[in-house]
Amino acid sequence: MLLETLRNEVLHANREIARRGLAPHTFGNASGVDRTGSRPLVVIKPSGVDYAKLTPADLVVTDLDGKIVEGSLRPSSDLDTHTLLYREFPQIGGIVHTHSEFATSWAQACRPIPCLGTTHADYFHGPVPVTEPLTAEEVTEAYVRHTGAVIVRRFRAGGLDPVAVPGVLVAGHAPFAWGKSPAEAVEHADVLEYIARLAFRTALLNPSVSAIPVHVSEHHYQRKHGPKATYGQKSW
Encoded amino acid at 73, one letter: L
Pairing, β 175-179 against β 167-169: antiparallel
Backbone dihedral angles phi then psi of residue 58, each to the nearest 5 degrees:
-75, -25
Question: Catalytic one among 50, 122, 161, 194?
Answer: 122
**Closest to 99 measured CA to CA, from 31, 154, 18:** 18
Q: Which of 65, 143, 161, 231 is catalytic?
A: 231
Q: Is 122 a catalytic residue?
A: yes
Cβ neighbors of 20 (< 8 A, separation 6 or more) are 186, 190
Stated as kind and residue range, the H or E segment containing 167 is strand 167-169
> Is the alpha carbon torsion for 61, 66, 72, 76 positive or negative?
positive
Instruction: Identify residue 203 by its one-letter amino acid code.
Output: A
Q: Is 50 a catalytic residue?
A: no
Furthest CA-CA distance within the chain: 55
Distance CA 192, CA 110 (A): 16
- CA distances (Å), origin 103, targets 9, 23, 176: 24, 12, 10
Alpha carbon of 191 to those of 104, 124, 196: distances in Å? Answer: 13, 9, 8
Residue 111 to residue 95: CA distance in whole angstroms:
22
Residue 68, phi then psi, degrees to nearest 5: -70, 125
Q: Residues with catalytic annotation?
A: 122, 231
